[in-house]
Amino acid sequence: MGFVHGLKCRECGREYPVDPIYVCEFCFGPLEVVYDYEGIKKVLAKERIASRPHNLWRYKELLPIDGEPTSGLNSGFTPLVKANKLAKIVGVKELYIKDDTVTHPTLSFKDRVVAVALSKAREFGFDTVACASTGNLAHSVSAHGAADGFKRFIFIPASLEKSKIVASLVYEPNLIAVDGNYDDVNRLCSEVANKYRWAFVNINIRPFYAEGSKTQGYEIAEQLGWKAPDAVVVPSASGSLLTKIWKSFKEMKQIGLIDKLNTRVFSAQATGCSPIVTAIKAGVDVIKPVKPDTIAKSLAIGNPADGFYATRVVKESGGFGEDVSDQEIIDAIKLLARTEGIFAETAGGVTLASAIKLIKGGYIKQDDLTVLCITGNGLKTKEAIMGQTGEPYHIKPNLKSFEEVLKKINEK
């Protein structure tokens, strides 16, 4: 195994060996993994993939590890749910939910990227893993790192929801709560990463880590019967997931796993933090950093690292972007729950609410086979919808009391 040639600067094209590095020394552009696609094409057929266990490593030739994977052996291959009821309400014929609310083991798509990052960190010989996180990544590095026997340093904004903090602490990492927002945490972590020889999954391991997001795209295409959708709506924080889903479709086309690629890629953001969508709507590729103010904390990156590349993918594919208010996010979370029985975190609300706007605006057409990427579980951000749901019916422990309530319910 091992189809990785090396690393290459996305800006100036300078090449580097496979190392825990992430910035071009010459022009400061980000580095990306380069594969031998001809070699992969020879060994990776649909039948071979289909014969493998249902986890993200069934596409291992397209992931940047040299040996066998050591992390996240049960992660990925989440359901692609055909959402017929929701499709009728939002006005498209064929709608699917890529349901990463049930990713093993920490219920968000971050288990995909961490599986790859920690397998790579092991290959590099690191004994400590670390991350800067808005929550979901913290959970995933804490959990996978515990199972894999790494020391763990997790940096989070101190303002995170309590439930998200507890969901990291249970795995007993070193949890560092920083006074500041995600961008402040990220800046600090760059300094820490320069000083300590740790595997920071989203800093010095980033070129490898980010590749894990491609597995969501591979799965969507495989689950659709080896074809790419007409439209895919992707929540955008750093913009990385969106660029990697596009990359996954292009790779599948290149190595012959899908025949054609006509997918339009759409970016979804919260209005309170929409630097990428703002650039898309303005038709520019310069990202103006913002100070985030939204309930969608998992998307609250004001200065998105892959923002430029995300706008380029949207343009190249003929897609667009939409942004939605906090109330629209909450309404969409509830809509997804009551129609399809899926409880998404705030980012999922952003995706569905944006998709509704994109359909209304005519950017997504009625006969487009559309996939919504729902990336995290609602049980993680219960605070966001507290007071926005109905109330239980309170009764005495006897039949009479119950039947009084039942009468009221039936009269509704």
Closest distance of CB 244 from other proteins, Å: 18
**Between 82 and 291, whose beta carbon lies closer to other proteins?**
291
**Between 204 and 269, whose beta carbon lies closer to other proteins?**
204
Q: Do 232 and 96 meet the contact criterion of CB atoms below 8 Å apart?
A: no
From 213, 230, 233, 229, select the one nearest 352 (Cα to Cα). 233
**Between 170 and 284, whose beta carbon lies closer to other proteins?**
284
Q: Report d(CA 192, CA 21) in Å as an integer.
A: 14
Q: Report d(CA 323, CA 314) in Å as an integer.
A: 15
Please say whether the dihedral angle defined by the alpha carbons of residues 236, 241, 242 and 243, taken in this order, is positive or negative.
positive
Backbone angles phi, psi at 207, to 5 degrees: -55, -30
Closest distance of CB 150 from other proteins, Å: 17
Q: Contact residues for other proteins (CB under 8 A)?
A: 11-12, 19-30, 124, 187, 190-191, 193-194, 197, 203-204, 286, 288, 305, 308
101: which DSSP letter? Answer: G
Closest distance of CB 128 from other proteins, Å: 13
Closest distance of CB 16 from other proteins, Å: 9
Query: What residues are paired with 321 via a beta bridge?
Result: 267
Q: At which residue do the structure tokens 């992430």 appear?
A: 22
Closest distance of CB 23 from other proteins, Å: 4
For 311-354, strand residue ranges (E) read 321-324
Q: Report d(CA 242, CA 373) in Å as an integer.
A: 10
**Between 24 and 178, whose beta carbon lies closer to other proteins?**
24
**Between 129 and 193, whose beta carbon lies closer to other proteins?**
193
From 320, 324, 321, 331, select the one nearest 272 (Cα to Cα). 324
Closest distance of CB 310 from other proteins, Å: 14
**Between 193 and 221, whose beta carbon lies closer to other proteins?**
193
Element (H, E) at 276: helix 275-282
3-state SS class at 108: strand
Closest distance of CB 30 from other proteins, Å: 6
Closest distance of CB 32 from other proteins, Å: 13
Preceding peptide of 105 cis, ω within 30°: yes
For the chain, how many residues are written?
Answer: 412
Q: Report d(CA 58, CA 48) in Å as an integer.
A: 9
**Between 179 and 191, whose beta carbon lies closer to other proteins?**
191
**Between 166 and 284, whose beta carbon lies closer to other proteins?**
284
